[in-house]
Amino acid sequence: MTVHAPIHPTARRALTVRLATPRGFCAGVDRAIQIVERAIEKFGAPVYVRHEIVHNRHVVERLKGMGAVFVKELDECPDDRPVVFSAHGVPKSVPATARAREMVYLDATCPLVSKVHVEAERHHAAGCHIILIGHAGHPEVVGTMGQLPAGAITLVETAADAEAFQRPGDAPLAYATQTTLSVDDTSEILAVLKRRFPELPDPHKEDICYATTNRQEAVKRLGEGCDLVLVIGSANSSNSVRLVEVALRAGARDARLVDDATQVDWSWLDGVTTLGITAGASAPERLIQDLIDAVRARFDADVIEDAGERETVAFKLPRLLTA
C-alpha cells in the first residue's frame, strides 16, 4: 500500500539526493523501443510484439497506446501484420517459423545478447558443452538456450549449482552468461567453476553487458554513502532487481524497487539524510524526473549528480526501417 505523506512546504527538512550516473535506458533498450515506434510509423497499427519489448510497464503501456499489440507466442499473430521480437532475444525456431509463414518480422534483440548467441554457437561448433550462467525462465536465457540443440547447454543459476554440475562425458567446456546478472554473483559462480574445471577461460569484463556493469558500479557508489536507495524499474526486470541487491551489499541501510514515484512509501525516508536514486536499463528518464519532483515537493532537497561512466554507445536500426 502506498502511503502519501502530507506536504508542508514551510516545514520541509533537508535531504541530500544523489543521482546515479549512468542510469535508465541503455543503447539496446533505446534501439528496441525505436524499432517498435518506427514499425508503427512505417506499417501502421497494429504491429505485433512477441513478449514485452523491454521489461518496463510504462514503456509497454505507452507503445500499446501507439498501436503495439503484445503477445506471448507467434501463433497469436496474423500472417499479414509485422511482428517485432523483444530485446531479450528468441530461440532460433521463432524467426524460422516467421519465415515459413512469410511474415514481415523485425528482430529487436539487443546486439550484446546476439553476441552471446554467436559465442554459444561458436563453442558448440568447436565441440564444447556450454555452461550458461543465468536465471531459469528469463526470456534471454530461453532465447540463448534455443540457439542450440537440446542438451548442448546446461543452465547454472547459483554457486551451489556450479558445485553440483557434472561434465557430460569428456566434452570440453565453455561458458556464457546472461547479460543482466549481478557482476559479483557471476564472479562467485565462475570462481567455483574455475576451481573445479581449471581449463575454463578466465572471465572477461564484457561477459556482462557494459550497461549492466556500469549501472551496478554506479549503485555501489550510492550504496556506500546513502541511507536509502530507490531503484526505478519493474519487478520482472532482471537488471533492476540486481541493482537493489547491489545497493544493499554496498552498504545502503535500505534499498527499494519502485515502478514510479506513486509507489514510494514516504515513511521509508524517516531518518534518511542521504537518498540515492537510480533506474534500471529499461526505465524511462521521465520516471526519474517525476520521482525527483515528488521528493522536492516534500523535502528541501539538494540534488547532486554522481560522477560516473558516460555512455556513448548507439546501435543501428534494422535496414527494413531505414531504407
Catalytic center residues: 140
Q: Is there a contact between 94 and 144 (Cβ–Cβ < 8 Å)?
A: no
- Please report, as a single letter, which amino acid is at residue 54: V
| DSSP calls for 286-309 | HHHHHHHHHHHHHSEEEEEEPP-P
User: Alpha-carbon distance 28 to 30, whole Å?
Assistant: 5
Q: DSSP label at 199?
A: T
Q: Are 181 and 155 in contact (CB under 8 A)?
A: no
107: Cα separation from own chain's centroid: 17
Nearest 5°: phi and psi at 305? Answer: -90, 120
Do the beta carbons of residue 91 and residue 316 sit within 8 Å?
no
Q: DSSP for 98-145?
A: HHHTT--EEE---HHHHHHHHHHHHHHHTT-EEEEES-TT-HHHHHHH
Q: What cell does 194 get?
A: 574455475
Calpha distance 136→157 (Å, rounded): 7
Peptide bond into 91 cis (omega under 30): no
- List, in sequence order, every residue forming a beta bridge with 307; answer none if it has no partner: none
